[in-house]
Structure formats: C-alpha cells, structure tokens
Amino acid sequence: GILQHPDGTVLKQLQPPPRGPREQEFYNKVYDPDCCDSILLELRKYLPKYFGVWSPPTAPNDTYLKLEDVTRKFNKPCIMDVKIGQKSYDPYASVEKIQQQVSKYPLMEEIGFLVLGMRVYHVSSDSYETQNQHYGRNLTKETVKDGISKFFHSGYCLRKDVVAASIQKVEKILEWFEGQTQLNFYASSLLFVYEGSCQATTVRLNDVTLVEKRGVPSGVLSGGDVLECNNNIHVINSTENGKIEASVSKGLSKFYALHKKSCSKRHHSQLSLKVENLEQDNVWKSGTCIAQEHLNGNVLPQLEKVFYHMPAETKESANVEVRMIDFAHVFPSDAKDEGYIYGLKNLITVLQNILDN
C-alpha cells in the first residue's frame, strides 16, 4: 500500500522487476532536471510531483517512490481511482496474463475505463462511504453513469460544481494525449480528489463588480475592502487582488449550493458560497437547498447577480484534483495512444451526462 512520510509526501513501494524499475524510469525521465521536451514538461502538470526514491534506514534494500500527497490539502478528501484505456494489459503480456485481465472486466474494451474504488464523504452522516474494485467491475454500460455519480453525491445533493470541474481537468489531459505520440499507457489510472466537507469555497473573479454600491457601507475592511450589507447577504469587494467572496449570514446558513433543477419548480443556477460564522456541527446537517419561496427580501436577486456576472470559467470553481497515477506499464511509441484516448472520451461523456441530467 501507500505509506505516509513524516514530511507530508507519500511512499509507494517499488514493485518487483520489470514493473517497478519501469515506473521509476518513467518518473526519472519526466522529472529529469535537464528535461527540455515540451511534451514531458507539459505532462508534469497532470502527475503527482516526484521527489526521487527513498529507503528506510532499517531496510535499505526496500525502495519507495517519494511522491506528492495529492489529498494533503483537503480536509475531507473524496477520492476515486479510475483505470483508463481499452486494455489493462501491455503489448508484452503473456496469453495467460491477457486472459486474466480480460476476465476481470470484459467490458473494459467497450467502456474504456474501470472504477477501481472510491471513498466519498457524506455531509449528512459525517462519515465516509467506501467502494472497492468489485463495485466497479459490477458496473455495466447501462449502470456506469449512476455508479460514477455516487462519487459526486454529498449525501444531500449532487455536487455538480465538482462534476464540471472534473470534466475540465480530464479534458486538459485529453488535449495532452491528442498532441503526443511518444508514450503509450496501460493499466494507468486517473485519481480524482475533491473537498467533501462544507469548508468555504472562494470564487475568483476577473475585476467583476457583483453588487452596485447603494448607500453607505457598514464597514471598511483592511486594504480598502468595502463590506456591503443587503439583508442577509454580505459581499466583500477586495480592491487588492480582484477576489470577491460572497458570504451568507445565519439567516441563510442552511445551504451550500443553489441548484437549478434540484430544489423547487422555480429553478435557480448553482452558486457556491463562502459561509462565515457557521456552527459547523449542525448547520450543514439540516439541509443544503433553499427554494425561492424561502428567500426573503432581495437576497435572491443578489445571488442571481453574482452568478450571471461571473465569467464562464469560474461558474464551476470547485477545488478538484485529477492526476494520472500508476506507470508500471508505460512504453515508448510512435503513434497516439488510441486506447487511452478512447477511455478519456468515454469518461468525459459519462461525466457530461451526469452533469446534464
């Protein structure tokens, strides 16, 4: 398994030859300080950072890859491991190995990916739900969408912001694969990680004014930030870095996201808000969505104004990581990795269907 190093990195034990040395060679090649290959330099964006190898003083013959802990910055990380590609065996696999791998998931060639496991934090119960590889192998072409959507469900509602951000991340990886012909990946995975707790979400905007300045502000913050009050919603306009944080007082503290198609017949757009001064233990357990009938004063117009004036790329601004992992079966090539590309496209289609429906 994966071990934790005291310095915050993770340790992956080197597999027996040829898999372990092959994975180490891959990392060494991509993270070579003298590397000037633009394809490999771009690839670094989609991998965990690599810090060489490490051996414990008590067992110098045991070698570990020292890697970035992608989950470290999250409070309640939700994690999903998805193997990508039409084949989970490499070109040098024996007939027996091929039969073994195909029998594990005969639909791999048709679907192009396999859910190896997931761990999802449910806000409603303050607990994790875990699914192992048998869960993914039981998914069919008809059930794979619902099977993956379980990863994006908080226990209260579907985290569409996370789905949208995940699509953007996977599309970037697809762009890289479409533009390279020097490596083919087999039995490699994508690691999805997002924040499952109700921690604050900060929306970054590009010099967008969300609220018209009506009257005298109730307070001036450090750095010239103006705090404006409008019934239950406060909007802080930061003049220093262009960041605007929308926060909701206790009168509206019972929701994390406002969804179209989720809460009432009068649909509203999704909006992640930073919530201040909340009692974390009970606020989020009491409900996450509010219908228009329950919004008082002119809060809703302000929320709509926040959403509709946001640049398209910031409307889905969830904190999500998608990284490529597991490189024991990476081989030189002179053609596009069509099997991996097929899997990525199918996965994007499934994620898009989850978002749309």
Determine contact, residues 48/30, Cβ cutoff 8 Å.
Answer: no
- Residue 318 has a pLDDT of 81
Residue-level pLDDT at 146: 98
Domain parsing of the chain, residue ranges: 1-69, 70-198+318-356
Please report the DSSP string for 60-82 in residue order: TT--EEEE--TTTT-SSEEEEEE
**pLDDT tens-digit readout, 61-74:** 999 999 999 999 99
- pLDDT for the residue 283: 36
Q: What pLDDT does residue 317 have?
A: 58
What global pTM score does this model have?
0.70
172-208 burial, b if ≥16 CB within 10 A, otherwise e? ebbeebeebeebbbbbbbbbbbbbbbbeebebebeee
- Fold for 70-198+318-356, please state it: D-amino Acid Aminotransferase; Chain A, domain 1 (3.30.470)
H or E segment to which residue 95 belongs: helix 95-104
Q: Which residues contact 20 (CB under 8 A, 6 or more apart)?
A: 14, 63, 328
pLDDT string in tens for the chain (357-residue length):
789 999 999 999 999 999 999 999 999 999 999 999 999 999 999 999 999 999 999 999 999 999 999 999 999 999 999 999 999 999 999 999 999 999 999 999 999 999 999 999 999 999 999 999 999 999 999 999 999 999 999 999 999 999 999 999 999 999 999 999 999 999 999 999 999 997 544 333 333 333 333 333 434 433 444 333 333 333 333 333 333 333 333 333 333 333 333 333 333 333 333 333 333 443 333 333 333 334 444 444 444 433 333 334 434 458 999 999 999 999 999 999 999 999 999 999 999 999 998
Rounded-to-integer distance, Cα 36 and Cα 44, Å? 12
